Each structure stands twice: as C-alpha cells, then as structure tokens.
Amino acid sequence: MSVSSPVIVIGAGPAGTSAALALVERGIPVLVLEAGTAQVTPPPPGQYLNLRFGDPHQWRWQIGRHGEAFHSQGSVSPKLRVPGLRSVFEGYAEKNRIDAMHGFHLVGAIAPGGLSNAWGCGVATFDEEELGPLAGELNGMREAYARVAARVGISGASEDSLREVIGLDEHAAPAIALDSLHARLWKRRHHVDALSDFSIGRARVAVLTEPRPNRSVCDLSGTCLWGCANRATWSASFDVETLRRHRLAQFLPGTLVRAIEPDGNGGWSVLAETARGRERFHARRVVLAAGTIASTRLALAALPTPPDQIRLQSNPMAAFLLWQPRALGTPRSASFGLAQLSFTVSTPHNGNAFGNLFSTCGLPMSEFLGHLPVSRRAGLPLLRGLMSSVVVGNVFLPGNLSDHRIRVRSDGSLQIEGGADPDLPEAIAHARRTLSLAFRKLGAWMLPGSFVEGAKGADLHYASTMPIRIDPAPHECRLDGEVAGLPGVYVVDGASLPSLPAKAHTLTLMANADRIARRLAAAFPDDR
C-alpha cells in the first residue's frame, strides 16, 4: 500500500500537533503518522484524599494490576510508576531502535500526545540569549508563543520576580490557589528580596482556571500525577482530537516509522510498520516530530554520511524535601498536585537553574522514603508525622552542563552514552547550598539527606541534537527548520532547539514548530 500527501508529519506530540495544525490552517493537506495508540487512564473523579481512603478499587490506579507502581525504582520521575501511564512509555526504546548506555536513563512516549500525557505542565518563553540564532526570528517566535498559549490555556499570571523570566503573563489567567504550606512560603517572600542569587514566584502552568469547551477548570482534587478527569491540564492529545476532525488532516495511529529516504523525484519515502504490515508513504516534505531522540535517529540514518557522534543535551536535576516546622501537625487537605511556586538560582556557570515546589498530597509516601538518611522502617513513621508540613521540590540545571553522546550505527539503530560536563558537580553543590539558605529565610528546612540527584536523562528534557544554526553543519538545521544535509526534511521538536536552558522548554518547541510550519506553508509550491 502506498499513500501520498504534500506533507507528512512524523509524531503527534506537542511539536507534531503544533506543526500539523499550523499547516492545515494555512491550507496544506497533512498526513500525521503516530507510532502509538495508547491512551491515559485517569483515576475516577473526586479528591485524592477521599479516593485514597474511600475508593475500594484504588489499587487499580495506585498500584496497577501487575504492580506497575513498583517498577522503575530509583531517582526518576514518579510519573514512570503510574499504572495508567505505563502504556504510554512501554516499548519506546525497542520500537525506536535506541540503546542507552553509561547510566543514561532513557524515557520516551509512544502515544498520541507524546510525553505531554505525563508532563508537569510547566511553561515559559526563552529570552533572546536563550533563543540563540532564533533571536533573529524574534517577532515570529513571539507571535507563535501567543498562538500556542491561546490554544493551550495557561494560568499563573502574577506581579512577581519571575514575571520577566517566564514572559507569559500577557497570555495567562490568574494563578491557581496555593495550599496552606505554599501560602506560608509565599507570604514570607520579602525575606529573600535582598538575595542576588535566588528569586521565587508563582508557577506558570498549562492548567485551566477559566473553563473552555470540553475542558473544566482545576478543582484542586490533587490527582494531577495520576491523570486529570476534568481535562484541566493540557495534553497534545487534545490537539489530536482537533486534527481528526479537520478535513485537510489524516491521522494514522499505530504507524511506526522505520526510515525515511529520498524517492528520486525530489520528495521523500517514509517506510513504516502498521497493523497491515510494512507500508510506504510519499510526501514532498517530511516534518520530524517523533521526539528529540527518535527524530535524530531518523535524520542521521537518512544522511549519506552521518557524523561519528553528536551531542545530546538534557537538564541535570535533583529533588529535595522542605520541612516547615511551624506547620507541623497541620491537617492534610487536597490541593493542586503540580507546581505551585517556581524559583531561579544563579549558577557560577552559563545560565540559571530553575525549579518548582509541589504539594506532597497527591504523591504516595513511598516516593519519599529514599530521600531520608534513615532506614525505610524508621522513615515510614517519621514521614507520617512530617508529611503534612513538607513540600517537595525539584531543580533543573542548564543543558550545557550535560554531555551525552549519540551515534548512529551502520544498521540505522542509535546508541546513547550518558555524560556530564566537568563543572556539573560544582554547579549541583552550589545550587543545593543556595537553596538551603534561601528556604531557611522562608521558614523551611531542607531535610538532611533529602537532596538527591536524578539519573542522567531522567529529567526527560532532551534537546539540541540537530540545533538551528545560522551556518549549519550537514546534520544541523537552518532557520526554517530544514536539515542542511536533507533538503525537504524539517525538524520541529526539541532536536532543533539551539540550546536548552533550565526553565520549561515545551512551549518553546511548540512555538518553534508553529513558526517553522507556517514558513513551510508560505513557501509551498502552488501545484500541490
């Protein structure tokens, strides 16, 4: 079977859906190929604490029929242990022919919506320095940010010290209500005003505080980790629903792309496996949006002479627990389960660290036992006593402090080797010291031993393997997203980002995908 389309978009995550929507809006027919078919299974409606103590079937979504919650132990995101999300991640490496080595913790999604099925909903814009070569496209990026933000729905607008850093308040609704623990920290924020290396503000998140068609506002149920029954938290799966209804879009789930190759007529053949067997699709233009690593494999394998190795960036990260002694004994109550407050930390190296604070309400106690300098038996009663006065934090460092390496093998498979910049240990230690001192001023203590570094790659922020450059090498991208060595192939996901700062990057890759797709549509041949 052979199917043709003017443009094929490979992948239906945040970048792929953003590009596809922009193309059909401009009148360009699009075929979207998505490897997965999995869907998120949220818990039943209701508040987490009520469900936790009153739902007789909670084991199904808390632990899973096959004990999924006990898998993937270690310094990785708790999302990887949610039973309802397991099908989103399962089989990613094998299906995409990727081998991770030297301690690199590889995670990817094979599902409509991609990793946005399980993201933290953090959003931000990149400033001119962070945009690098894209600063020359500043007006286009600003317009794209506005379009994407309007589609997604953002909350968190606040007159605080992060307003300019995040740069989205003109597109954001008011912030979600803080729980009592975060409100205590927020009330004392003036105690850190004099610090030059620490700033704190409200979290900007892709979560509704104003209703939309087919989506309700956040009801503070605290089930965010497990899935939002209200659809208040945005997912690119919502955009897939829009594409399915559009007359110019074809959406084919369960279509695993194996390779792309020139068709000999100025276009491209896309070789894929489907439920019907091997199929070949044809297009004048191919848009890669399969996720940074999968897109990189497809592009490198298509190059006549791929480079020996290229660099992959991710955000080194750590997690920690903050105890507020004056809140000891406070009754637990349901609250927003994603980031409530965000902060920046200056580093002695290029770029600032960025982090968030979360409620522990919607997280199982087992997530925290490994963060205490005591045995699990001793830690359980300790946590039971402290949990109502504790919040959890994470901190991400700039991608230039990572140093992972990617190689494409002769058979087209990909090898990743985890690595780090020599300055990373110093940067991590600096961030820990700065955070400990700053939060003490806010009335919170970092619990001893609770600051734990994540595994290499466990942040899930992968980027900059084929970065946009003014003068790109054959495997890098031009300003219009086209791979310099592959005419007619465009990269719109994190692989084409020029750099990876510590703050949230998903909205930027979506805006860049929107910008690239609109430029592609404007330049498309009239005889399509």
For the stretch 263-292, pLDDT in tens is 989 999 999 999 999 999 999 999 999 999
pLDDT range class, residue 224, cuts 50, 70, 90: confident
Q: Does pLDDT of 235 surpass 90? A: yes
Contact 99, 93 (CB under 8 A): yes
Residues paired with 288 in a beta bridge: 10, 491
**Percent of the chain predicted with pLDDT > 70:** 92
pLDDT at 492: 98
User: Token digits for 300?
Assistant: 């490198």
Give Rg (Cα) of the chain.
22
pLDDT range class, residue 97, cuts 50, 70, 90: very high
Residues paired with 414 in a beta bridge: 98, 408
In eight-state DSSP terms, residue 196 is S
Q: Does pLDDT of 469 surpass 60? A: yes
Q: Does pLDDT of 437 surpass 90? A: yes
pLDDT at 351: 83
pLDDT at 481: 97
Alpha-carbon distance of 61 to 41, in angstroms, equals 8
CB contact burial 19-42 (16+ within 10 A = b; e otherwise): bbbbbbeeebbbbbbbbbebebbb
Task: Scan for tokens 């899973």, then name that residue.
Answer: 64
Question: Which among 316, 307, 301, 468 has a CA at the least distance from the CA of 402?
Answer: 316
Contact 325, 446 (CB under 8 A): no
Alpha-carbon distance of 237 to 408, in angstroms, equals 30
Say which amino acid occupies 7. Answer: V
Q: Does pLDDT of 372 surpass 70? A: no
pLDDT in tens, 11-53: 999 999 999 999 999 999 999 999 999 887 777 787 877 777 7
Q: What is the mean predicted confidence (pLDDT) over 343-352?
A: 88
E strand residue ranges, 11-133: 30-33, 98-101
pLDDT in tens, 43-57: 778 787 777 777 777
Higher pLDDT, 79 or 418: 418
Domains of the chain with CATH codes:
1-38+106-153+234-308+461-528 (3.50.50.60), 42-89+179-233+317-396+421-455 (no CATH)
Q: β-pairing, 30-33 with 2-10?
A: parallel
